[in-house]
Amino acid sequence: MARVFSGIKPTGSVHLGNLLGALRNWVTMQGEADAVYCVVDLHALTVRHEPAELRAATLSLAQILIASGIDPERCTLFVQGHVPEHTECAWVMECTASFGELRRMTQFKDKSEGTDFVSGGLFTYPALQASDILLYDTDQVPVGEDQRQHIELTRDIATRFNSRYGDTFVVPEAVIPPTGAKVMDLQHPDNKMSKSEDGAQGTILLLDDPAVIQKKFKRAVTDSDGEVRYDPTLKPGVSNLLSILGAATDRGPAAAAEGIERYGDLKEATAEAVIELLRPLQARYHELAADPAETGRLLALGADKARTVASATLDRMRSNLGLLPR
């Protein structure tokens, strides 16, 4: 069985696009692969943050993942900062990557523009990301196009290290996951729904109250011709609602349009479907939030499983590098 690694950063709030576009696939992969899922809290340190907010966001994200169907009994779910092998391996990754490779990373260019302070960690975090992946003998990394460059760098680092010091790391493959629903902003349907826009009227957060969800869908942008049909080019707002309705009810967007003639009815049907989709998730989340010790127990189990694999990889790496045994 192939081992799959995916990570998610505890910044912003998790929204409907995350659930329909990615987390559903994570749940499915639990039964198809040896799945390793990581809340990458150390990646959040590349920019200034409030410690209390990071702590709360990390715990909340783990609880949302479990509430979404990620089962710690069927996969390895852990917090990156609980497995110290990540940072030790990351230093070796930094020493294996070249300055030029790190400088060419497009996400560094994008995130460093227009800021007064650019941390060294923002520059070198692709090395930590490579460490995250390589520590677990990962075979496959599901990624979108925006992350493909990072996986190519990880492959280059692993290949270079293996060439210099002998077979140490599995060279992972980037895989395009099954296409989930492409969820766009309700107010700006040409833009993807974003988890960085907390409270925005165009974003449905997974923990939004039903009344808030209804209000946001009621205000969703459509168009003026009044015809309910799926046409992302000419009718992006209506098509976005149909995509969401279809994904929430396990239908295609064209099938979701059947029997709906008015925009108001489409908005109401979509809101109701999303509320029902999120109802069990929200109930499970609130159970976990009321008992944070249980979440801590589950994350500790995940960290123990993760360290069993990561420590073996790290020992192999240290030995091949010529470092003295501990």
Task: For residue range 84-98, list pLDDT tens digits in order.
Answer: 999 999 999 999 999
What is the pLDDT at residue 145?
Answer: 72
Helix, strand and coil content of the chain, in percent to the nearest 5, comes to: 55, 10, 35
Question: What sign does the dihedral 193-147-40-99 (CA atoms) show?
Answer: negative
Topology given in CATH for the domain delimited by 3-176+291-321: Rossmann fold (3.40.50)
Which carries the bigger pLDDT value, residue 33 or residue 109? 33
pLDDT single digits (tens) 179-188: 667 899 999 9
Q: What is the pLDDT of residue 147?
A: 81
pLDDT at 81 over 70: yes
Domain(s) labelled CATH 3.40.50.620 in the chain stretch across 3-176+291-321
- The average pLDDT across 40-49 equals 94
For 172, list phi and psi in degrees, rounded to 5. -80, 160
Query: Alpha-carbon distance 270 to 175, whole Å?
Result: 31
Is the confidence at residue 110, as pLDDT, over 80? Answer: no
* pLDDT tens string 289-300: 999 999 999 999
Instruction: Reply yes or no on whether the pLDDT at 144 is more than 80.
Output: no
CATH 1.10.240.10 in the chain, residue ranges? 210-287
5 pLDDT higher than 90 = yes
Question: Under a CB-based contact definition with an 8 Å cutoff, are residues 72 and 30 in contact?
Answer: no
> Quick one: what percent of the chain has pLDDT higher than 70?
97
Query: Which pLDDT does position 21 carry in this prediction?
Result: 87
The reported pLDDT for the residue numbered 200 is 84
pLDDT at 196: 58
- Dihedral of CA atoms 56, 60, 61, 64 in degrees, nearest 10, equals 180
Examine the pLDDT at 269 and tell me if it is beyond 80: yes
Residue 107 has pLDDT above 60, yes or no: yes
> Which pLDDT value is given to residue 179?
62
Is pLDDT above 70 for 197? no
Residue 199 has pLDDT above 80, yes or no: no
- Centroid of chain to Cα 260: 33
Whether 113 has a pLDDT exceeding 80, the answer reads no
Does residue 207 have a pLDDT over 90? yes
CATH 3.40.640.10 at 210-287, yes or no:
no
Asked if 62 contacts 39 with a C-beta cutoff of 8 angstroms, the reply is: yes
List, by residue number, the catalytic residues.
111, 192, 195
